[in-house]
C-alpha cells in the first residue's frame, strides 16, 4: 500500500509540475503578445502625434501666408509607359517610386484600384508634406511631446518618457522636448520613428520601465493564474490527504480484523479446552474440579460476550441508533461496581482514590458506566504494579467534569490527536503484550458527545495520563 501511495504521490507531483510548466509557457506567450501590443501602441501613438503636429504647423504656415505656388501639398500618381511602376509626383519634377509590378499587369491594376486607401500611400503623403513643411516651419518638439502624451494615455501607457529629434546619419540629437521628469535613458526602452521622406530625421522616444507597464497590464490574468494554481495545489493536497486517510483506515481495519480474530479465538479455545477436559476424563471429575473448569468456561464466555457487545455498540453508534436515557446517577456506585469487575480479572494490585465533588450527575447510566469502565480498564492495562488510580469530579459552569488519572506509561504527544479514532492503537513496536481492538476510547468519545459533552487527555511519557470527560447538566 505504501508503494501504491508513493506512485499516486509521484503521479500527482508530475501533474502539478506539468500544469505549472504549461502556465509558465502560457504566461510567457501572453507576455510576449502584450509586449508586442505595447510596442505597436507606442508606434501608433508616435505616428498619430506626428500627423497632428504636422497639421498644426500647416495651419501656422497657412496663416503666415507662406503657402507659395511651388509648395505642393498634393501627390499625383503616375504610371510609366511600361505599366510597371507608379510614381509620386511632388512638384518641381521630383518623383519617387511607390510600386513596381515586375511586369504583372493584373497585379498593377489591383494596386492602382486600391492605392488611395493603402497605408503606404498615406505614409508617403505625410512624408511629402513633411519635406515641404519642415523647410518653412521647423518641427515643434514640445508640441509633439504634448500630443504624444495624449495618445499614449489613450493606450493607458503612463510610464515616464522623454522625446528627442535625432539625425539618423550619425545618430546625433538635434532637439529635445522640455521635460521636467528627466531620467537616465540607459535603462529605458528606445523607440525611433522616421518622419521625413528620406529618413534623415527621426523622433526618438525613451520610455522608462516598459516591462512594468506590460506586467501591470497582465496583472489581472497573472493574479487569476496564481489563484487557479493555488486552488489546484489545495485540491491535490486535499486529494492526497484523503487517499492517505483511506490508506490509514484500511490499515487500521486490517489490524482490527487481526486483533479481533485473535481476541475471539482465545476465549473460545480456553472454553473448549475446559469443557473438553471434563468430557474426556477417565473417571468422573470431582465437584471441585468441575466447578473450577466450569468457572473458567463461564469467565471466558463472559469475556467473549463483552467483546461482542463492544463491537455491536460501535455498530449501533455508526447507525445513530443509540438513545441517551438521562437520570440522576451516584458516581460512587458506578465506580465501585467497575472496580469490582476489574479486581476479578486483574493480575496486579489496584489502588483507587476518589475525590467526588459533586458525587452525582445526570447522564445515561449504562453508557456512563461503560465510559468509566473503559477508562479504568485502559488505566490498569498501561500501568505498572501496583496501579494507582485517582477518579475525581468538579463543577465547570453548567457541566460536571470527571477525570481518571493513572500512574501508567503515558502517551507521546504525537499520538494523542488520534487516540479517539476508531480502531486506532498507539504503536508499541514488536510488543503485543496489551490486547484490544482500538475501540474503547472511540466509544468514550462517541458516547460523551452523545451526551453533548467533550473529552480531553493530558499525558506525558513515563508520567501517566489524565482522561477527562465533561458532561453538560
The reported pLDDT for the residue numbered 96 is: 47
**What are the grid coordinates assigned to 19, written together?**
500544469
> 328-367 pLDDT, tens per residue?
999 888 888 777 766 766 678 888 888 998 889 999 888 8
- Residue 14 CA to residue 10 CA, distance in Å, equals 6
**What number of CA atoms fall less than 13 Å from residue 372's CA on the CB side?**
31
How far is residue 359 from each of residues 15, 266, 354, 391, 402, measured CA to CA in Å? 61, 38, 10, 11, 10
**What are the grid coordinates assigned to 146, written together?**
504634448
DSSP class of residue 344 equals H
Residue showing cell 497573472: 222
How far is residue 397 from each of residues 329, 394, 400, 463, measured CA to CA in Å? 19, 10, 8, 29
Sequence-distant (≥ 6) Cβ neighbours of residue 35 within 8 angstroms: 210, 211, 214
The reported pLDDT for the residue numbered 440 is: 79
- Residue 411 CA to residue 462 CA, distance in Å, equals 8
Low-confidence ranges of the chain (pLDDT < 50): 68-78, 83-101, 116-117, 319, 429-432
Q: For residue 460, give the 3-state DSSP assignment.
A: coil
The reported pLDDT for the residue numbered 457 is: 92
List for the chain the helix, strand, coil content (%; round to 5). Answer: 55, 20, 25
The reported pLDDT for the residue numbered 80 is: 52
Q: Which of 162, 147, 165, 175 is nearest to 202 (CA)?
A: 165
Q: Where are the domains of the chain?
A: 323-472
- What is the CATH number that goes with domain 323-472? 3.30.565.10
Contact predicate 373/339, CB 8 Å: no
How far is residue 351 from each of residues 340, 357, 385, 391, measured CA to CA in Å? 12, 20, 10, 11
Sequence-distant (≥ 6) Cβ neighbours of residue 4 within 8 angstroms: none
The reported pLDDT for the residue numbered 310 is: 62
Sign of the C-alpha dihedral computed for residues 312, 318, 322 and 328 taken in this order: positive
> 23-74 pLDDT, tens per residue?
888 888 888 888 898 899 999 999 899 888 888 888 888 777 755 434 444 4
Tell me which H or E stretch contains 112: helix 105-114
- Residue 234 CA to residue 16 CA, distance in Å, equals 11
DSSP-assigned states of every residue in 317-379: HHTT-----EEEEEHHHHHHHHHHHHHHH-SS-EEEEEE-SS-EEEEEHHHHHHHHHHHHHHH
The reported pLDDT for the residue numbered 89 is: 46
pTM for the full model?
0.45
Amino acid at each position: 500500500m505504501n508503494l501504491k501511495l508513493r506512485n499516486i504521490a509521484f503521479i500527482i507531483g508530475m501533474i502539478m509540475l506539468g500544469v505549472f510548466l504549461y502556465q509558465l509557457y502560457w504566461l510567457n506567450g501572453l507576455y510576449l503578445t502584450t509586449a508586442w501590443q505595447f510596442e505597436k501602441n507606442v508606434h501608433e501613438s508616435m505616428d498619430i502625434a506626428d500627423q497632428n503636429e504636422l497639421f498644426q504647423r500647416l495651419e501656422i504656415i497657412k496663416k503666415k501666408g507662406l503657402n507659395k505656388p511651388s509648395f505642393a501639398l498634393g501627390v499625383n500618381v503616375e504610371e510609366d509607359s511600361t505599366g510597371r511602376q507608379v510614381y509620386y509626383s511632388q512638384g518641381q519634377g521630383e518623383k519617387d517610386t511607390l510600386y513596381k509590378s515586375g511586369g504583372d499587369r493584373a497585379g498593377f491594376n489591383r494596386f492602382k484600384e486600391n492605392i488611395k486607401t493603402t497605408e503606404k500611400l498615406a505614409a508617403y503623403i505625410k512624408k511629402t508634406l513633411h519635406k515641404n513643411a519642415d523647410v518653412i516651419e521647423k518641427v515643434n518638439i514640445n508640441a509633439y511631446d504634448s500630443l504624444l502624451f495624449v495618445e499614449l494615455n489613450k493606450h493607458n501607457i503612463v510610464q515616464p518618457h522623454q522625446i528627442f529629434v535625432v539625425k539618423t546619419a550619425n545618430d546625433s540629437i538635434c532637439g529635445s522636448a522640455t521635460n521636467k521628469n528627466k531620467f537616465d535613458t540607459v535603462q529605458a526602452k528606445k523607440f525611433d520613428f522616421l518622419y521625413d521622406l528620406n529618413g534623415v530625421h527621426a523622433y526618438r522616444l525613451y520610455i522608462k520601465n516598459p516591462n512594468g507597464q506590460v506586467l501591470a497590464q497582465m496583472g489581472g490574468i497573472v493574479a487569476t493564474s496564481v489563484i487557479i494554481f493555488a486552488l489546484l495545489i489545495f485540491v491535490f493536497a486535499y486529494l492526497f490527504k484523503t487517499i492517505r486517510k483511506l490508506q490509514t483506515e484500511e490499515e487500521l481495519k486490517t489490524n482490527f480484523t487481526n486483533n479481533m480474530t485473535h481476541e475471539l479465538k482465545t476465549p473460545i479455545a480456553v472454553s473448549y479446552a475446559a469443557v473438553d477436559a471434563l468430557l474426556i476424563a477417565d473417571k468422573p471429575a470431582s465437584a471441585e474440579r468441575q466447578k473450577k473448569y466450569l468457572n473458567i468456561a463461564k469467565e471466558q464466555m463472559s469475556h467473549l460476550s463483552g467483546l461482542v457487545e463492544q463491537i455491536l455498540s460501535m455498530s449501533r453508534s455508526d447507525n445513530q441508533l443509540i438513545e441517551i436515557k438521562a437520570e440522576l446517577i451516584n458516581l460512587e456506585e458506578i465506580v465501585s461496581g467497575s472496580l469490582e469487575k476489574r479486581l476479578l480479572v486483574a493480575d496486579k494490585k489496584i489502588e483507587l482514590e476518589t475525590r467526588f465533588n459533586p458525587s452525582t450527575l445526570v447522564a445515561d447510566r449504562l453508557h456512563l458506566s461503560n465510559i468509566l469502565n473503559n477508562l479504568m480498564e485502559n488505566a490498569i492495562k498501561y500501568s505498572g504494579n501496583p496501579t494507582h488510580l485517582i477518579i475525581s469530579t468538579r463543577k465547570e459552569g453548567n457541566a460536571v467534569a470527571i477525570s481518571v488519572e493513572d500512574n501508567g506509561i503515558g502517551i507521546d504527544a504525537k499520538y494523542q490527536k488520534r487516540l479517539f479514532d476508531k480502531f486506532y492503537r498507539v504503536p508499541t513496536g514488536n510488543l503485543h503484550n496489551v490486547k484490544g481492538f482500538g475501540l474503547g476510547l472511540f466509544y468514550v468519545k462517541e458516547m460523551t458527545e452523545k451526551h453533548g459533552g467533550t473529552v480531553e487527555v493530558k499525558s506525558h511519557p513515563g508520567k501517566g495520563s489524565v482522561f477527562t470527560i465533561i458532561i453538560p447538566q
